[in-house]
Structures are given as C-alpha cells and as structure tokens.
Structure 1
Amino acid sequence: MVWRGNSAAAAVVVAAVTLTMVAGCGSRDDTDVAGIVGSFAGAIENQDVEAASGLTTAPAPAAESLGATFAGMGAETVETTVNKPVEYSDGTASFTMKTTWEWPGQGSFETSTSGTARELSSGWKVQWEPGLIYQNMPAGSRLQKVRTDATPAPTVESRTGKTFMKMVPVNEITFDPKAAGRKSDAAIASLADAVEPIAPLVTASVIRKKVDEAGGRSVVAVTLRESDMRTLTSDPEKITGVTVNRTGKLVMDDRRLSSPLESGLTNYWTAVRDATAGWQVQLVTPGTRPKRLAGKQGPPAKDVATTVDQNEQLVLGDTVVEVAQPAAVMTFDASTGGILAMARNDAADRSDVEAGAAYATGSTLDPVFEAVDRAANDDSGSANDMLYRFGLGVKFTAPGVSLPRTTTPTKPKVSSAGFTPNDYKSTMLNMGALGVALSRASDGATDAVAPYLVKGATTKVTDGKLEHFEPEVAREILRSMATNANTGDASDLTGAPGLRALVGTNGPQGPGWFVGLQGGKVIVIYCEGEKSGTAALQVAQKYFKVSNSR
C-alpha cells in the first residue's frame, strides 16, 4: 500500500486539518484516521476480508461485499495507493484510494474510489459503503472477473473437413444430496423418472452410485442438449436438490457416433480454445445483466483438423456390439498412420480399455518375434531395437488421444535360447504402428511412422526409436500374415480380399488380438475374457461385413 500527499482541492477545505504523512504501513498509528485508513487499504491488498471489514462501521455487510468481490476477481495480487486523509472539525475525514487488481500474464484492472472515515467512541472507523470497492457500486453488488471466448467456437473436423464435433448449448442436470436432505432417495428416483424419456440408462441406481462415489457432494446426473430438454414431460429443476446449469459442451455432430477418442479430442480442443481465451471484469448486480467494465479478448481459435473418418466410425460402432465381452477396435490409414476411428462396446467401456494402455499379447506376435530373432541372431538387444523400429515397445503420446494411467508397453523377459519374449505387452497404438509399418513395407517403404490423430500435431515417441526397419524382416512377417489369412486361424474370414493378419491370445482367459491389413487400412481388435481369440475373429468378421455393406 502506497501513501500519497493531499490533493490541491483537499488543502483548501474549510476547517480541514492536514494530517502528517506516514512513511510506511509499519509505522502507522492505528488510533488515528491515517492509521485506520492505511490499515484498511493494507487489508484490501492482502485480500483479508475479516481485517478489512473489522475496520469499517458495518462489518457484516462489508464482509459480504468484500468476500464476494475477492472471490469473484481471483486476483493474484492487489495493490492500493491512498491519498493522505483530510480530517474535518466535525469528526469525519475524507480520502481517495486507487486499487489495482492484477493477473500476471493476462492484465490488470484499476479502480479509483473515494471514502470517508468517522471518529466513534471506539475510535476511527472507515464509513462502509460498496463504493469503496467501485465508485457508485450499488448495495449487494460485486466485481468479478470471468473468462471470455471468441466466437464462433472452433469445431473438430474429420479428415474430409466435415464437422465431427462441435460446441452446442447443453443443460447439466445436477443433484445435490445435501440440499435434498432426508428426501434424497425420493428425489433421485424422481430425477431418474424425469429424464427417462431421453436418457433411460440414467437410472436411480446410476445416479446413486455417482453420489456415493462423490462422497455426498453434488454430481452431474446427466447432460442434455436443448432439444432433449424440450422432450421431457416434467421439469427436473422442480425436484428437491436438482439444479440445471446451462452451459456449452463439445459433442459429436452426428448423434449416432460414440468414440473413446471423444475425451482426448475434447481435451485438445479445450487447450486450443484456452490459448486464445480472453477475460472481462464485470459489475454484477442482482436482477440485472452483468456490466462490462474492462477486458481483453483474443482471436477465434482455428478449427481442429483430424484424421477421423466419420463413416469408419459408424462402421466400428456397429462392429463392437458383435460380442458381449469387452471389445475395442481401432483402424488406421495404412500408408500415413492416421487414426481413422476407434470404438468400444459397453463392456470395454466399463473396463476402461484405452488405445494407449498396454495389454498382454500372448501368441499374437509370435511370427514377428520369430522373424526378428532370426535377423538378430539371438541377440536380444538387437532384437529389441528391431521391434522399436516397427513401432513395438515404444511409447506414443499422440495429441488428441487420451493417455491412460499406465501407457508404457512392458519390456519383454527373454529366455536364454533365442529371442522368445514372455509376458510381452503392447498397446493398440503399438499394434497399429506395426501394421502400418508392414503395409508400407509391402509398398517398398523402409520406415515406420507414428500413429497420429490431429493433423499438424506431432506424436511424441519415447522409450525407443522407430527409424528404418529391415525390409527382409518385414517381408517374412508379411508372408506369415498372408499364410494366417489363407490357411491359418484367420482363414474362415470372408469379404476381405488380400487380407494379411496376426491372430493370437494370451491363454484361455485372454486377452485376444486381431491385427489385419486390408483395403488400405490397418484393423486392430482387442478382446478380453474367455475365448477372446475367437471373439476377436468374430468382431473382425463383423467389421468386414459392415464395411462391405456401406
């Protein structure tokens, strides 16, 4: 807090007594008016509601207004400069104060206010009025800083430039068990009934589980679009403990689509939007629209271009429901490594199957290990390096693809007799990269590429290097895959001309895998549970059937 000298006007006020300037806050005498005003300004700097309000003539309303403004402004620092108070013979004094609210890296907001102080029996006090916060501020008002975003909001585009995801107005239907009190169970049942016409899966037990997992805190029971709200036969907000928060959300443009890629793309889109976000300081008065006082706005963010194929996403959505056990499917552009689509069924959703999570491969990669072992002459170090160059064993961090808690593929335990890895684990991204490398090898390329989802964003590769792979190793693996498709485990599949495939399982309890090259795509299927190898083949057959029908 900084002290300044008297203004010229204050110096000529009749019956005014000029107070002595105090050099620093630490030397103030809090029994005189200068000390009290200085302490008040210092408490504002410290955003200390209790200290500031306690120095006023009305601590309760002062605390309410100051607390609301401090919370609403969320300033990292506050600086105050006070002109020396002018004391009058009637036991009052006047002062002016400049307050600067600062948000480093964003901006600042400055207010100039004037106030009075009164000498009471208990000593000098600052006369409380909301205008001490902002000149002429009405009672019950507050200042707040809010985020602003340029319009229109960016969209997420498919590989052809069509809208894949967009922001739309939505309604977050929130339930607070504390507000419902003893009627909590009845309120949950009523809420489930109210949203049942549009969200039949949001049952009372589902809402109760959310509440229990949140430890009794309020939860978002369901988020509905505006058009969905209009189809409801009753108003959820009339239920005890229920509130409806109207906001915006990034959603699939085609309501038939659902994908695990949605969360990662939303995070990426949010980061893009954050980079151009602005801010605004508002005067908020109950019953009126917030008044803009200051602010700064960045330009609209660019749309997010991706490699997603919307038709392929529809195909995968129809594919994963072929089996009841957990199943997930990803497809990649066989020449570029672009992720075309990903889908998982409800069981896989409950198991939280992720593209970047590592799972046991079992016998699936045996043809790869055998070819690599022969080329490496039983040198496990060399063999591992070869696997890296095909995209196995490395970690991919692809912008727009969610990262699970554990993302690094497990390094193999190798027996002394040749390169025969045990307990090897791989991610769906690794399997996709392998398939793309092999497909590129069949076209004469000798380099692997990292899978990616957002165009122009680079996938980070760690724990190994892709580099150039050995063409002869690729050719040997491709021959094994062709044999597998023609006379082996994948030979019963139909509607997939030119298919080359890896099929395997990690024992009776799985998981089971299918990695196929066909029609310019790499298809990676992962299944869990009993007979998961057979399940993976069932899903593969459904994929080819659905693909051929579109």
Structure 2
Amino acid sequence: MVSRTGRALLAVITALAMVLAMASCSSGDDSDASRAVKDFADAVSRQDTQAAADLTTSPSQAAESLGVTFAGMHPKDVSVDTGRLVEYSDGSASFTLKTTWKWAGDRTFETKTSGSARQLSSGWKVQWDPGLLYTGLTADGRLQEIRTDATPAPTVRTAAGKPLMQMEPVNEITIDPAATKDLEKSVRALVAAVAPVAPMVTAKAINDKLVASQGQPVVAVTLRDADMQQLDSDPSRIAGVNVNKSGMLVMSDRRLSTPLSSGLTNYWNAIRDATAGWQVQLVAPGAPPQQLAGHQGGAGPDVQTTVDPNEQLTLGDAVVEVAQPATMMTVDASTGAIRAMAQNDAAAARNIEAGVAYPVGTTLNPVFDAVDAAGKGSDQKSAEPVLHSLGLGLTFTVPGMSLPSGTTPKVSSAAYHPTDYTASMLNMAALGVALERSGDNDPAQPYVIKGSKTKVTGGEMGKLDDAVVRQIRASMETTAKTGDASDLTKAPGLRALVGTNGPQGPGWFVGSQGGEVIVIYCEGEKSGTAALQVAQKYFTTR
C-alpha cells in the first residue's frame, strides 16, 4: 500500500511530467513562433501601430492601446528586444520583451515584460495584452511622457526688484467649430459672456481666427481667475466652448502694456526650457497619474530687468496722445539701460519694433553735417567708423527683446547726407547714449536684462571723435532752443534731433534730458509733428 507521502510525491511527479510533455526546447530564431514575435517587436520599434496590431490576436484593441501610448510617449526612438521564447505542445509559446523608449537629451525609459503567443489558423499571433507595454497597464490606461517645470516659476522683476511679470493661473476659452451645430450662435453667446471683462473680443475677431484655423479649435480669449469671477455666466455651458486651465506669464500690474513683454516672455521661456524636467507616467481613469521615471532639477533664476513701471505708465499715456502709429522708448543716458517702451494700438497693428531699421529722412542731418565738417564724410569708408562709434549703421541684438528679421541698417554709397539711410530705435537710443558718454571710451549699448550683454554686429562702437560730438550737441541744443523742438515745455536742458522722411513720414524725435535719452518714432502724415506731440505729453506728465 502506498503511503500518503508517497501518493503526494507521485502526484507531483505526474504533474511535472504533464508540463514537460507540453513544453519543448527553447525555440530557434527560424521557428514560426519566434518570427511572429520578432516581427511584432520590429513593428513596435518602428512605431508602426497597424503593423504591430495586425500581428496580435486582437488587432483593434491592440491598435487603440498602441496608438494612445505612442502619442502619449512621443518618443524619438523605440527599441524592442525579444528574450527567450519557449514553445509548448498545445500550440502556445511564452516570451519576454525589453522595450527602451528614448527622447532627446539622453532621456530613456526601459520596461521588461512577458507575453504569450498562440498558433491560430492564420498563423502564429501574439496574444494581445496591454501589459506587453508595461506590466499592470490596462486596456483603458496609457503611458505618457510629459514635461515638468520646477516651482516656483521665475519672476520677471523691475529695475527696483519688484515683480513686473509673473506666472499666474489663467483660463483659455476655446471654441471648437466641430462641437456646435450653430457656430454663429455660439460665437455670439461667447462674445456676450465675456463682454464684462473683455469688450475687445468681438464676433469678428473670433470669426477671423476661425477662418484662419480652417475648422480647428481656436483660443477666443485668455482670462485670469479674477476676471472669470466677474462673468455673469459660465462660458463652458455654451455649445462648442471649453475652458482650459493653464499657467501664463502675465503683467503683475494689469495697467502696464509694453512691446518688451514678448521678448521678456521669450527670455523667461528659455530659462524654463533650460531647467525643465521630464516624467513618464502610467495613466488610468479615476486614478492620479503614477510616476514611473523622470528627473526634475531646481527652479531657474528670476529675470532682473531695467524696466521702471512708473516710467512705463507715463510712456503709455504719452503714445496715445496721437491716433497715428507712435512708439516710444526711454533709456538711461549713462548706462544704456532701457527704462520703458510703449506704443499705441496703431503702432502695434503695424508691428513696429525697436530693432527694425526705418528711414530717417532729415533727422540725422546734423550728424552727417558734423561728420563732414570733421573731414570724415567724403566717402562711405571714412564716414562709417565715425557713424559706428555713435551707434549708427549697426545691428543690436538685445537679450530680452524680440529679434525681428530684416533689421540691418543700410547707407547709400555716398556717406555724406545719404538719402536712403535707415536706423532702428535701438540705433537712435545708442546715439543718444554715446553723445551723453562722450568722455567715456567704454561704449554702452542698450540693454534690458541686467547682467546680459548686447551683441553688436556690422561694425564696432569705437572711440568717439570729440569734434563730431561737440557739433552734434550744439545742433541739438539749437533745435531745442530755437528750432523745431523749441515749443516743447517742461524740459530744461533738452537737446533734440527732429526730422521726417517727407510728408508721409516716418517722423522721429531723439532727445536727451535729465540723464535720459528719449526716442519717439511715428508713422503717417505729419508724423514729425506727432512725434513732438508725444514728447510734449511725456514731459508734462512724468
């Protein structure tokens, strides 16, 4: 009689024998099962969703899971290696996969999973399971790689160190033409909903965006949380309208508006990009994202600017004195620090930028006269070094300011009184600073980020010619006392250059007063007079 222990041992031996009967040796690379698994791995490596799905037992489910994961992971490269494959006598096989996801910057994420394959009437197929991508992944889940940003976000600060621009939660209100049966009605309802805080958002403005987007959703308006609380109705209740929460760099003082904001935002974004981290997440409905891998460094430094918000408000009031395009900049005469820059709506619509070169007309005639009187205006070769020392004929790339295209100033072949000379507002600012710092052989270029260095191309700001400087200053004093700028009041000690490029402009005002350089650029009819109007408003309100 067999003992109880013997019977148990016999059962184990029998079960083991059955397993061994089912299993075969590890499959070679040339077996049908091995080729099917390798083909699946190769298709995943190529990120070929349909090809990989067609090699599984459930192509539609596999295509959906693979598609959302490829989209969520957006890898630069995927490599899938197959491990030991074992075939069984019942027409199945088991295998392992090692999947390596790669992104720029040497970021990688590796998973090790196991799966099975089955021999069907159509051949060997990989048994579909989302766990092939990551152990524990379900049909309604996905993997995703996201950017992470350190907190707190950098603050853009004023010259006095106070916040000028900072990260705030905002609400992007979008409208999707495909999500409403009556787009015109939705647009009208949205305009009415945001009217209490955004009266400039009109049906025409939204429709123009929709036409440009060719049927894609557009952001109709972005509102701060405080503005959202002022609305009488919830925009998200309108058909086709969604409200998306996000973060944005905004002016700390909403009264401020400056063309400098776009360049400062770009500079801020560059800091965020340089300090950004990354994270791979397992995402499933009803559960918070689970971090699987990633890295996040420390927060970036604050952006220290030269901007004076009170000066910015004053310039904002000055440029709206005229209806035609007007842009104004003030610069510290001793350092080149840009204190403020403002433009009215007409100038903004024209995309007037500080780095773009515009015709100067008669504005710089006193400069050309001085260069000629010094015996250095006979030709372009002899005149250019003198003009360069004054900041003219150069291109300034200022960190924290937008970088427009086509900004290179030009001069005709006749350097003396050239008829097609152009200059940017930055050129004019550099000229004003150079004239104020004539005794200083270390030139100061315009800048807006403290500690940054402005790049100068097209020549060098070398040593100034004292005789040239004295004559230009004398001409500017005459212009302020008895010339075109003599009607300006409340500007003691003013020196100025005033001129136009003909009846249709543009017109310029370049002045120095009270340790400050003032540059005003206007376009349109009687633009020289308009520039003087803006200057007078500035002097009487600062």
Counterpart of 1:421, as a letter, is P
Question: Does the Cα contact within 8 Å between 2:380 and 2:413 map onto a contact in 1?
Answer: no
Equivalent residue number for residue 335 of structure 1: 334
Query: Is 1:544 paired with 2:539?
Result: yes
Asked whether the equivalents of residues 413 and 422 of structure 1 are also in contact (C-alpha less than 8 Å), the reply is no
CA spacing shift, 1:348–1:338, aligned 2, 3 Å: same
- Deviation at 1:420? 1.3
Structure having the higher Rg: 2
For residues 390-437 of structure 1, the C-alpha deviation after alignment (integer angstroms, 9 at most, x for no partner) is 1011011111110223211122342xxx71111211100000000010
**Partner in structure 2 of residue 293 of structure 1:** 292
Cα offset, 1:377, TM superposition: 4.9
- What is the match of residue 6 of structure 1? none
- 1:386 and 2:383 equivalent? no
Determine the C-alpha separation between the residues in 2 that align with 1:287 and 1:64: 19
What amino acid sits opposite 1:19 in the alignment? Answer: S
1:472 corresponding residue in structure 2: 467
- Structure 2 partner of 1:90: 90
5+ long unaligned stretches in structure 1: 1-9, 23-27
Task: Name the residue aligned to 2:42.
Answer: 42
Deviation of 1:85 (Å):
1.6
Shift of 1:94: 1.2
Q: Is the 8 A contact 1:511 1:528 kept in 2?
A: yes
Which position in structure 2 is the counterpart of 1:410? 410
Inter-CA distance 534–48: structure 2 relative to 1 (3 Å threshold): same
Indicate yes or no: 2:271 matched with 1:276.
Answer: no
Equivalents in 1 of 2:275, 2:177: separation in Å? 37
Distance 1:319 1:197 in 2: 27
Task: Choose from 424, 427, 434 the match for 1:427.
Answer: 424
Contact kept? 1:116, 1:127, Cα under 8 Å: yes
Distance 1:387 1:11, change over 3 A: farther
CA spacing shift, 1:446–1:90, aligned 2, 3 Å: same
Q: How does 1:63-78 map to 2 (within 5 A)?
A: 63-78=63-78
- TM-aligned CA deviation for residue 35 of structure 1: 0.9
1:451 alignment partner AA: P
TM-score (norm 1): 0.93
Post-superposition Cα deviations, 1:424-469, rounded to whole Å, max 9, x if no partner, equal 111000000000101112xx22443211111122111111111211
Instruction: Check if 1:20 corresponds to 2:27.
Output: yes
Which amino acid letter does the alignment assign opposite residue 216 of structure 2?
Answer: R
Q: Match for 2:152: what amino acid?
A: P
Superposition TM-score, scaled by structure 2 size: 0.94
Quick one: structure 1 residues 82 and 542, their matched pair in 2 at CA, closer, same or farther if it must change by over 3 Å? same
Aligned residue runs from structure 1 range 217-236, under 5 A: 217-236=216-235
* 1:179–1:241 CA contact under 8 A, matched in 2: yes
Residues 61 and 152 of structure 1: CA distance in aligned 2, closer, same or farther (over 3 Å): same
> 1:495, CA displacement in angstroms?
0.7
In the TM superposition, what is the alpha-carbon distance from 1:382 to its structure 2 partner? 1.2
- Tell me the equivalent position of 2:241: 242
Describe the SS at the equivalent of 1:258.
coil
Deviation at 1:473, TM superposition (A): 0.7
The offset of 1:13, in angstroms, is 5.4
Given the superposition, is the C-alpha separation of residues 11 and 56 from structure 1 closer, same or farther in structure 2, using an over 3 Å criterion?
farther
Secondary structure of the corresponding residue to residue 322 of structure 1: coil
Deviations 1:134-155 (A, max 9, x none): 1011221110000001100001
Amino acid at match of 1:363: T
1:484 to 479, 482, 487: 479
- AA aligned to 2:63 is A
Q: What is the aligned-residue identity percentage?
A: 60
Which of 452, 456, 459 matches 1:461? 456
Corresponding residue SS for 1:431: helix
TM superposition outliers: structure 1 runs of 4+ over 4 Å: 10-13
Q: Which residue of 2 aligns with 1:192?
A: 191
Query: Within 2, Cα distance between the matches of 1:216 and 1:433?
Result: 47
Secondary structure at the aligned position of 2:520 is classed as strand
Letter in 1 for 2:272: R
Is the 2:27–2:85 Cα contact (8 Å) retained in structure 1? no
Q: What CA RMSD, in Å, does the superposition of the two structures yield over aligned residues?
A: 1.6
SS of the residue aligned with 1:288? coil
What amino acid maps onto 1:17 in structure 2?
S
Check conservation: 2:385, 2:462, Cα contact below 8 A.
no
Is the 2:305–2:449 contact (alpha carbons within 8 Å) kept by the matching residues of 1? yes
Aligned to 1:110: 110
- Within-5 A mapping of 1:3-14: 14=20
SS at match of 1:491: coil
Distance in 2, matches of 1:68 and 1:172, equals: 25
The question of whether the paired residues in 1 share the 8 Å contact of 2:166 and 2:252 is answered with yes
Kindly report which structure 2 residues correspond to 1:69-218, keeping only aligned pairs within 5 A, or say none. 69-180=69-180, 183-218=182-217
Offset of residue 11 of structure 1: 13
Distance 2:369 2:218 in 1: 52
Residue identity matched to 1:292: Q
Q: Any conservation in 1 of the 2:142–2:282 contact (CA below 8 Å)?
A: yes
User: 1:359 offset after TM fit, Å?
Assistant: 1.0
Residues 468-525 of structure 1: CA distance to partner in whole angstroms, max 9, x if unpaired? Answer: 1112211110111011111111111111111100011111111110001011110000
Does 2:528 correspond to 1:533?
yes
CA pair 100-12 structure 1, distance change in 2 beyond 3 A: farther
Matched residue SS, 2:508: strand
Alpha-carbon shift at residue 532 of structure 1 (Å): 0.6
Describe the SS at the equivalent of 2:519.
strand
